[in-house]
Amino acid sequence: MKPASSNKNFNFDQSLALFSRAAKVIPEGIYGHQNPAFVLPGNCPYFADSAHGAHFRDVDGNDYIDFLCGYGPVVVGHAHPEVEKAVSGLLSKGVCFNHPGEIMVRLAERLTGLISIADWSIFAKNGSDVTTYAVRVAREFTGRKKIIIASGAYHGAHAWCTAYPGGVLPEEAANVRPIRWNRLDDLEKCVAENSGEIAGIVLTPYHHPTYTAQEMPADGFWEGVREICDTEGIILILDDIRAGFRLSIHGSHEVYGICPDLVCYAKAMANGHPIAAAVGRQKFREAAEQVFFAGTFWFAPAPMAAALTTLNILETGNAIAEMERLGIRLKTGLEEIGTAQGFRVTLSGPPALPYMTFDDHPDLYHIQIFCREMIARGVFLHPHHNWFLCAAHTDADIDETLEKAEIAFRRVKEEVGT
């Protein structure tokens, strides 16, 4: 796909027309976090047409360097030939059977081989499926009700954890207690106030809330969490859905020195094909077996083939190192160009999953204008959600992004100052 030219006048006419049609027959037109209201209404594409490598095309024919990668699943590049070959090889043998295939056992063996704490693995389709499952396993194991999370963290769209009240009974979320990320004092207080009642703590490996800078774990944070869990008999559930396999083929807990009991994966596991997994230690297996877990489509073999191939590519190639290298180039480049234009900007989080903030403007207006200007020049950056590098990004993509960022920073300065 050819890169977008810097002076192309992007319009979103087809996106807007499709949205009008959609709004008549689909609640909200586009629901969930793909709703344009979460990005930049009127200034971003609403519908996609196709994607290859690190680029995608919208329904108006605009081409972009893709720094969202399907909100994370695309890790070795859109429509990766090896992954798609593995998938299409299986599709011709049938898509959905009465039984799982041999491949499910192979994938479980692969995950238990790759992930230090995994003695078993179970599969579903979405991240929310497995975070909810892990919470149930923790409740089953401990016989307790309450769950601790970090405030601002996203663990899915299910009733126990959604931030949106529509249709949710207060009692469905009543047993969830938020603490502040990195605050062991909060955690100690919360555990003391709910002594003997906490089943599990659900945390991401580092904090990646929307709208604000990402926060890395402070020294001693994870050790402290583990100690409290051990003392109080609380199950430590790591939600590695967003970062899993992008930072390490062995899971993000290896990067940050975390000792979780149960871990949830989805996104990058199968390069965009729908599959999620929960893995756990042997001692939780009996509880895991008591939790009824089922979905009509969950045993489909093709996404499992995509997962096996994606994991092989990540393990044998230099994809993970490349994403980090290019992410560091992007971070350094944007921070330098921003500074030269008079802004204080920070790219927080791991280089392969960065988020940019204008540090003097937490109201988001500056980042929105910046992303609007980048999108209009063919670089898709989300103003409110962390970005994703994939292994198909190239140095040329980063060069082009930085070149356009210089123009975009200038446009921000002209419009709203530094």
Q: Spell out a b/e string for 257-286, using b for 16 or more CB atoms within 10 Å of the CB, else e.
A: ebbbbbbbbbbbbbbbbbbbbbbbbeebee
| Residue 80 sits in the site that holds ligand PMP (CB under 6 A) | no
Quickly tell me which residue has 């490598």 as its tokens: 53
135 binds ligand PMP (CB under 6 A): no
Taking the least distance from each CB to ligand PMP, the nearer of 128 and 401 is 128
Shorter beta-carbon distance to ligand PMP: residue 246 or 361: 246
The interface region with ligand PMP, picked from 41-49, 97-105, 123-131, 331-339 by CB under 6 A, is 123-131
Q: How far is the CB of 324 from ligand PMP (least distance, A)?
A: 19
Q: Is 266 in the site for ligand PMP (CB under 6 A)?
A: yes
Q: Which of helix, strand or coil describes residue 296?
A: coil
C-alpha distances in Å from residue 89, one per residue of 93, 302, 305: 8, 8, 9
At 276, phi and psi to the nearest 5? -135, 160
Which helix (H) or strand (E) segment is 202 a member of?
strand 198-203
Cα–Cα dist 64/73, whole Å: 17
Q: Return the number of the residue (131 or 142) whose C-beta is nearest ligand PMP.
A: 131
**In the complex, what is the shortest distance from the CB of residue 406 to ligand PMP, in angstroms, rounded to a whole number?**
31
Q: Minimum distance from CB of 120 to ligand PMP (Å)?
A: 20
Scanning 21-29, 237-245, 317-325, 408-416 for contacts with ligand PMP by CB under 6 A, the matching segment is: 237-245
Q: Does 121 bind ligand PMP (CB under 6 A)?
A: no
In this structure, what token pair is assigned to residue 151?
A: 């405030």
Interface with ligand PMP includes 246 (CB under 6 A)? no
What's the distance, CA 83 to chain centroid? 20
| Count of residues that bind ligand PMP according to CB under 6 A | 14
CA distance 418 to 343: 6
At its nearest, how many Å lie between ligand PMP and the CB of residue 242? Answer: 4
Which chain residues interact with ligand PMP by CB under 6 A?
71, 126-128, 131, 154-157, 204, 239, 241-242, 266
